[in-house]
Amino acid sequence: MQGLIAVATDRDGRSLWSGHFGVSPIYTIFDKDGKLLKQIENPYSKDKHHDNPSLVVELLKGVELFIAKNMGKKSREKLTGELGIKSLIVELKEIYEAIDYFLTLRKNIDVFEKNRERYEKWFENYKAVYESELNMLKSVLPPFDRALEIGVGSGRFAYPLGIKEGVEPSEKMAEIARARGIKVYPGFAENLPFRDEQFDLVLIAVTICFVNDPEKTLEEAYRVLKREGKVAVAIVDRETPIGLEYLKKKERGEFYRNVNFFSTEELHSMLKSKSFDVKETYQTLFANSIDDIKEPQDFSKGYGEGGFVVVIGEKR
């Protein structure tokens, strides 16, 4: 059985366990659609020093996602990086609240799972648009030794930008990125499976519009960045002609139904509220529609005219 979910559960069988996932008294197992299947008693629950994710993975065969209130960062790194298991940390009371939260989080993930070919085809159909976006990012991204893309997708940005690592919750998208040479960690933007201060640069290319909690995503980017590390957040600015075009797509299509489009000023405010210093803002895609862009375009500083905007922030 694949796609199973294990929730760390207290002795009452309903409450989320507040201690470490590895010593949870009970693991409640749900299927991928949130249906309760069974509860498993944890033979390691009495060992308060137990911290071996491999043993728990062996106990919970077929589980692809662990949900808990508490899990050590080293355990999460091993769980994700070596064992390929997603983990989700939540501040909720009951296991059913945790499952509902995950199902909400998964809405946009499912869209990418179902539309992988359509996603890839877009870059071929709108080659000049993609090249305009990519050329701007190549020119303005700060130098780095170790970088991470949050929501790496199929690696369309990470690979040509030289970013070797990414987080991606959609396994079908991750398969393509891995084929392009990206080390992909299964996980969520709001719960990055890394210890603090690991990266020089974090790229969030449009993903901020698809996540369930944009502010938590920026908090996590801040946490994993080294001091004075940079974040680059790219969006489709909703207050431009191309942004308005995408807002109409939101009304019509499945792909953008759950997307939140931001203005550049809103993005500036969010970054500042999460203790980033906004350093630079750049824009490209100067047209009324992406259908009008037949050749790659230049970029300029500022915002308000170009439909594709990237904001560079620095960790204080």
pLDDT digit string, tens, across residues 152-200: 999 999 999 999 999 999 999 999 999 999 999 999 999 999 999 999 9
* CATH 3.40.50.150 given to domain 115-315: yes
Q: Quick one: which of 72, 79, 74, 114 has its CA closest to 6?
A: 79
Phi, psi of 40 (to 5 degrees): -120, 125
Which candidate, 289, 282, 285, places its Cα nearest to that of 303? Answer: 282
The pair of structure tokens assigned to 148 is 């991470």
Cα 213 vs. chain centroid, distance in angstroms? 10
Say which amino acid occupies 146: R
pLDDT digits (tens, 9 = 90+) for 61-110: 999 999 999 988 888 888 888 898 999 999 999 999 999 999 988 888 88
pTM: 0.90
Instruction: Report, at the CATH architecture level, how domain 4-106 is classified.
Output: 2-Layer Sandwich (3.30)
pLDDT category, 59, cuts 50, 70, 90? very high
Q: Inter-axis angle of helices 171-179 and 95-114, to 10 degrees? A: 50
Strand partners of residue 313: 231, 278
Please list the residue range(s) of the chain that carry CATH number 3.40.50.150. Answer: 115-315
The pLDDT assigned to 1 comes to 40
User: Percent of the chain beyond pLDDT 90?
Assistant: 80
